[in-house]
């Protein structure tokens, strides 16, 4: 049995997956890591993918959302440790080795999250998008037990704590982490495990992706809570969610004392993206996910 399995999903046409696989495949081969790649787009994998990445195992699941893709791969993973990253992330050259070492060094941890750097730095919008989605996972992050750790960009699990079955809609890492934390499992951050998050959108695309992501989160959350909490969250989404999200995005970056110039320049865009997220949450709690899960990259 492999010590480590790595799961990568993609809903986008090739070469979206190349960003991740070019940085991951060789080190996975050298460390005897099981590499599972699942794609849903008709053109998500090139014809020569098996010869280009001979160590990886590929599966095509037409029409699946990214949440369904990752759930399908997690069910198939055989490693004692199972790690997740995204198709638009470039992992560090020692990423696999550091995940294995981290689980040796933190034997009580069921979940270990790494750190995420911004790999798209050309435009202020790219920084604003990164700060809203991954700013809290940007280093420095104190190593050790945390209530929250990095999510799908760079997170790993002991195989024993993964569900044997997932809901038909798939899963989100925050849901699994929340369940594990409530069970008393230990979540750890380790800054040796690094990825670069590389995403660049036009302004309309950025607004749309934040709306759809937040609507999907709200719909997934609605399935786990009762009507009173759902109603409360609906009211919050309609009133104070945007300024709360904005504050939660800005304060951690100020505390890290890094990239303060891009932060200052991006504040107006971050505010607009937070408004998009609050609108998405309002829709998700009010009428469900709709087609939003299929819009998430």
pLDDT tens-digit map of 140-164: 999 999 999 999 999 999 999 999 8
Distance CA(77)–CA(212), nearest Å, equals 28
Task: Report cis status (omega within 30 of 0) of the bond before 15.
Answer: yes
Instruction: Flag whether pLDDT at 234 surpasses 80.
Output: yes
Instruction: Flag whether pLDDT at 117 surpasses 90.
Output: yes
Count of C-beta atoms within a 10 Å radius of residue 158: 20
Query: Over pLDDT 70: what percentage of the chain?
Result: 100
Residue 134, token pair as written in the block: 């991954």
- pLDDT of res. 171: 87
Instruction: Flag whether pLDDT at 45 surpasses 90.
Output: yes
Asked if 138 and 118 touch (Cβ cutoff 8 Å), the reply is yes
| Domain 4-197 belongs in CATH node 3.40.50.720 | no
Burial level of 31, CB count in 10 A (0-12/13-18/19+)? middle
Count of C-beta atoms within a 10 Å radius of residue 132: 26
Mean pLDDT of 244-255: 97
């Amino acid at each position: 049995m492999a010590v480590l399995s790595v799961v990568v999903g993609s809903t986008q046409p090739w070469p979206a997956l190349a960003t991740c696989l070019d940085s991951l495949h060789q080190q996975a081969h050298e460390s005897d890591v099981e590499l599972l790649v699942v794609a849903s787009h008709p053109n998500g994998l090139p014809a020569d993918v098996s010869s280009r990445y001979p160590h990886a195992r590929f599966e095509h699941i037409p029409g699946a959302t990214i949440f369904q893709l990752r759930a399908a791969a997690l069910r198939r993973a055989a490693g004692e440790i199972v790690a997740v990253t995204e198709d638009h992330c470039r992992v560090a050259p020692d990423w696999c080795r550091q995940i294995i070492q981290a689980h040796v060094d933190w034997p009580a941890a069921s979940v270990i999250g790494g750190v995420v750097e911004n790999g798209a730095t050309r435009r202020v919008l790219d920084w604003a998008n990164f700060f809203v989605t991954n700013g809290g996972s940007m280093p420095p992050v104190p190593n050790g037990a945390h209530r929250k750790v990095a999510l799908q960009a760079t997170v790993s699990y002991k195989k024993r704590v993964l569900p044997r079955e997932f809901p038909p809609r798939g899963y989100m890492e925050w849901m699994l982490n929340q369940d594990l934390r409530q069970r008393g499992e230990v979540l750890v951050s380790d800054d040796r495990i690094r990825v670069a998050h590389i995403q660049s959108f036009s302004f309309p695309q950025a607004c749309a992706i934040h709306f759809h992501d937040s609507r999907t989160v709200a719909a997934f959350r609605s399935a786990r809570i009762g009507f009173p909490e759902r109603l409360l969250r609906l009211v919050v989404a309609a009133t104070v969610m945007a300024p709360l999200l904005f504050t939660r995005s800005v304060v951690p970056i100020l505390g890290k004392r890094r990239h303060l110039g891009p932060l200052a320049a991006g504040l107006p865009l971050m505010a607009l993206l937070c408004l998009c997220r609050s609108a998405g949450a309002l829709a998700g709690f009010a009428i469900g996910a709709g087609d939003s899960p299929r819009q998430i990259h």
